[in-house]
Amino acid sequence: MSRSKSILITCVISLSLALSIATLLPLGAGAAPKKSPNPRHKIAENLVNQRGTVNVVVQLNGPIGASLSELLKKNDVKFKKHFQGFNSLSVELPQDDLESLASSEEVDWIANDDDVIALGHVTSTTGADDVRAASYSFDGTTTLDGTGIGIAIVDSGIYADHKSLSPRVVLSKDFTGENRLDDPFGHGTHVAAAAAGNGLLYSGNYTGVAPNANLLNLRVLNSRGRSSLSIVLSALDWIYLNRTTHNIRVVNLSFGGPAITSYLNDPLCIAVRKLVNSGLVVVAAAGNDGKDEFGRKQYGGIHSPGNEPSALTVGATNTIGTNKRSDDTVTSYSSRGPTRSSWIGADGVRHYDNLIKPDLVAPGNKLIFAESANNYMVTIDPSLDTGLGPGKTREKMMYLSGTSVSSPIVAGAAALLLQANPKLTPNMVKMLLSFTAQQLPEVNTLEQGAGQLNIQGAVKLAKLVRTDLSNSTPLGTLMLKTSAPSLQSSIDGTTFTWAQGFVAKQGYVKGVSLITKYQEVYDLGVLLSDSVYQKSGVLIADLTMMSSGVLVSDSVTLSDGTTLGSGLNLLPPGVLLSDGVLLSDGVLLADGVLICDGVLISDGVLVSDGVLIAD
C-alpha cells in the first residue's frame, strides 16, 4: 500500500533528537500562517502525483457560496457529503480539476481522502482502583466509575453482547456502509473494554478504567480494519451535532496516519479542535512508529490527529507485567515527537510544526481485555487469544499492544475526572492528567511527554477544583477549594513526585500556580500552548493568559537526564545536518531537511533555561 493511501503507515522520517528540538517554529500554536497565494500550496502533497479521479476532503473558509456551488455542479465533479459541523465537504473529481477548485477563495485546503486503519492489571498500576474508595468520590459516597459520562469509541465497532461490556453500549451507529454494528475486525471491542469494561469476569482482573461509563459505538473501520478520512469525519460530525443528547464528554481515537499536512490545515485535526472547543476531551493514539525497520529508535513519528495541539495524545508504556510502577518504561514502538507535519508559507518556504508530543503515556503492552466473536485479528493471529473463556464466546479475552490500547485507558481516566468534577474543561483535564503524571527515569520528554498516567493524583486534584470557574473567570483567581495538596502519590508501593507541568509547543510549563491560580488557557476556544511563544530564541509566556508563578522553560529532558539549555551542546559548532548524516544514536537522517530549514547551528542551545513570570 502506498503512503498516500494509508493513514496507518506513518511517513517514516528518521530524526535525531537534535533535529527534533532544533527546528523551532516561531509561529504560535494557535496562530494562522500567512499562506501562499499559489493554489498548488492549498493541495495536500499526496494528491499531486495521483492521476485520474481522486477523492478529496475540502476544508472551507465559510459556508458554501455561489462560486463554489457552480464549480461543484460540473458534470465530472461528484459532491458526496457536507460535514456541517466542521465546514468541510467530501468530493470526487478529476485530478486535473484540483487547481481550479483550489483557486476558489472559498477553499482553504484540499486533503486526500486517505484510508484509515487501526493502530495496533491496569486499574491497579494506574491508580484507578484507588479512586473507587468513597474518600475519592465527589460527594463522599458515590463510587467514581464513570457513571453518567458518555465515551464515544470511534473504531471498528463493539461486540455489545460481551459480558465485559453489557449493558454499557447505549448507542451504535455504522458509518462504513457494511450495515452492521458489531466488531468483525476485533479492535474496537478491546479498546472499549480498556476504557469501560465492567470487570464482571475473572474476578475483575480485566476491569476497564471507567467501568460504568456509557459507551457510544461509532463504527468507522470495516471488517478488515479499513476506512477513510471522510468516513471518520462523518462520525466526528455526528458526535459534534449529538454531543449533548448522550452527554458525550470523551472521544477516543485509536487510529492514526501520516502527519504530513500541518495541523493548521489537516481536516481531521480541525475537526478534533472543533470538538475540544465544544467541551469534549479528545484522546488520540500517538502511533506505533517509535523504531525503524532495523529496530533503531527514531523520532518524529507522531500520527495524525495526535499532532493536533488540542488533542490529548497518548504514548505507550510497558509495565513489565507488574503492578509496581518503579520498573515501568516507554515501549520501543511508541511514537516519539516532535510532530513533523508542515505547511508552505507565502514565501514558498516549508515550515514544520515541531510540537512536543505525546502529552502523556499510559500502559499499552500486552493488555488483556474483551475479545469480539470470531474476529479477524484473532483469526489471522491466534496467539492474540488468551485462552480464557473457551467455548464461551461472550467471555473470551484477547491480548493487544500499542498506543491504541493506551489511548482508551486515558479516555477512561478523563471520564473519571469529569464524573468527579463535571465543570472541568478539556484543557483542565489535560493539565490535571499531565500535572500529576510520573516522570519516568531515563526517558526523554519527546518519548513520555509529561510522564505516565496517575489517575489517583489527577482525581484528587479534580475534586478540589472549584466548580464556579468559567471563561469569564479573571486570570489568577484562586482555583482550588482548599490549599494545594501534597504533590506526590503512592500507588502499589511506589511513591513518586508529580511532574507539576505540561508540555507546550517546544517547551515545558511548570509551577504550583497551575493548580492554585486560574489560567486563561484553561478556557474553551484556546490551547494550553497559547500561553507560550518564542521571542529572540527564548520561550516566554503570554501574560494575558498566564499568571505569576509559572515557569516557562525549555525543560525538555534528554535521554541522559540533562535538559536543553543546561550547557549541553547537541552538536559541535559548525555542524550542518543534511541528508545522510549518521548521528551518535544510530538514527539516519533521510528526509532531506536541514536543521532550522537550512540554518547553521552554532552552539546547539536553542532556548534559555526559562523565564519566571512575574506580576
E strand or H helix at 457: helix 455-464
What does R_g of the chain's alpha carbons equal in angstroms? 23
For residue 317, the model assigns a pLDDT of: 95
Between 60-74, 186-200, 433-447, 571-585, the lowest mean confidence (pLDDT) is in 571-585
Q: What are φ and ψ of residue 42, in 5° steps?
A: -105, 5
Whether the CB-CB separation of 480 and 466 falls below 8 Å is answered with: yes
Side chain identity, residue 442: E
Query: What whole-number distance in Å separates Cα of residue 546 and Cα of residue 430?
Result: 16
Query: Do residue 85 and residue 181 come from a single domain?
Result: no
Residues 140 and 229 in one domain: yes
Residues 132 and 274 in one domain: yes
Residue 81, in any domain of the structure: yes
Confidence at residue 30, expressed as pLDDT on a 0 to 100 scale: 40
Task: Please classify residue 588 by burial: count the beta carbons closer than 10 Å to its beta carbon, then call 0-12 exposed, 13-18 middle and 19+ buried.
Answer: middle
Burial 408-429, CB ≥16 within 10 A → b, else e = bbbbbbbbbbbbbbeebbbbbb
Predicted pLDDT at 35: 62
Q: Indicate the residue among 113, 143, 170 that finishes a domain.
A: 113
Residue 76 lies in a domain: yes
Establish if 561 belongs to a structural domain. no
Model pTM score: 0.83
Nearest-CA neighbor of 273 among 59, 506, 30? 30
- CATH code of the domain covering residue 88: 3.30.70.80
Q: Which of 430, 453, 476 delimits the end of a domain? A: 453
Residue 443 pLDDT exceeds 50: yes
Better pLDDT: 36 or 380: 380
88-107 pLDDT, tens digit each? 999 999 999 999 999 999 99
User: Above 50 in pLDDT, residue 580?
Assistant: no
Comparing 11-15, 110-114, 304-308, the range with the smallest average pLDDT is: 11-15
Pair (134, 109) in one structural domain: no
Cα–Cα distance, 528 to 509 (Å, whole number): 9
Strand, coil or helix: what is 539?
Answer: strand
Query: Quick one: three-class SS letters along 28-77?
Result: CCCCCCCECCCHHHHECHHHHCCCCEEEEEEEECCCCCHHHHHHHCCCCC
Report the pLDDT averaged over residues 515-523. Answer: 97
Q: Would residue 424 count as lying in a domain?
A: yes
- How do residues 354-413 score in pLDDT, each as one tens digit? 899 999 999 999 999 999 999 999 999 999 999 999 999 999 999 999 999 999 999 999
pLDDT at 557: 57
Q: Tell whether 192 and 340 lie within a shared domain.
A: yes
587 pLDDT above the threshold of 50: no
pLDDT at 464 over 90: yes
Range of the domain at 241: 117-453
Average pLDDT of span 599-615: 30
Question: Which 8-state DSSP code applies to residue 476?
Answer: T
Torsions phi, psi for 513 (to 5 deg): -60, -20
- The mean pLDDT of the chain is 83
140 plus 109 within the same structural domain: no
Structural domains in the chain (count): 2
Which of 113, 145, 161 is where one domain is finished?
Answer: 113
Pairwise CA distance, residues 415 & 92, whole Å: 39
11 pLDDT higher than 90: no
